[in-house]
Amino acid sequence: MDQKFKYYEVYKRNSRGIKLFSCRWLPYSSPKGLIFLCHGYAMECSTFMRACGEKLANAGYAVFGVDYEGHGRSGGIRCLITKFDNIVDDCEDFFKSICELQEYRGKSKFLYGDSLGGSVCLVLHKRDPLFWDGAILVAPMCKISEKLMKPIPMVVNVLTKIEDI
């Protein structure tokens, strides 16, 4: 299939000074709407969500993704989520900054979340339900079981030391 879009990568610092990686698939024609990707835990946008971004862009949508702090090509300790709201805040800041651009004003805005990203989408939509025109949730993580075993402190210490190497 011929590509009907251009792919871009951009780095930007979040409010905490961490460098976040973002990518976008932009159709050559004026987009039908905007779709914002929220990836799962230990995933990232440019590779794991690439096929999704390409298909949606080929269908005429502008697609945007951002790697969470500690995920993919963003800065931070690998896969460490110290505060879930930080992820949501970063996505909200990035997504709304895109929506404010002149070329995207008045376009429909959709969230697309996979696993942990589905949870991010649910919170984003709950924060500002009139802002979003819809959401696509793929196997959303809606709750973490209370029956999960707490991490063993010794294992946490060993893994922390390995991360510092």
Q: What is the pTM of this model?
A: 0.86
For residue 4 the two structure tokens come to 């009907």
Tell the CATH topology of 5-164. Answer: Rossmann fold (3.40.50)
Residue 15's φ and ψ, nearest 5 degrees, are -65, -15
Q: How far apart are CA 44 and CA 51, in angstroms?
A: 12
pLDDT score, position 161: 79
Complete DSSP assignment for 12-73: EE-TTS-EEEEEEEEESSPPSEEEEEE--TT--STTTTHHHHHHHHHTT-EEEEEPPTTSTT
Residues above pLDDT 70, as percent of the chain: 97
Name the pLDDT band for 146 (thresholds 50, 70, 90).
confident
pLDDT score, position 150: 75
Name the pLDDT band for 158 (thresholds 50, 70, 90).
confident
In sequence order, what are the residues at sequence separation of 6 or more whose Cβ sits closer than 8 angstroms to the Cβ of residue 8? 23, 24, 26
Break the chain into its structural domains and give their ranges.
5-164
Work out the burial of residue 71: count CB atoms within 10 Å of its CB; fewer than 13 is exposed, 13-18 middle, 19 or more buried: buried
Name the pLDDT band for 165 (thresholds 50, 70, 90).
low
Q: Which residues pair with 9 in a beta bridge?
A: 23
pLDDT score, position 152: 78
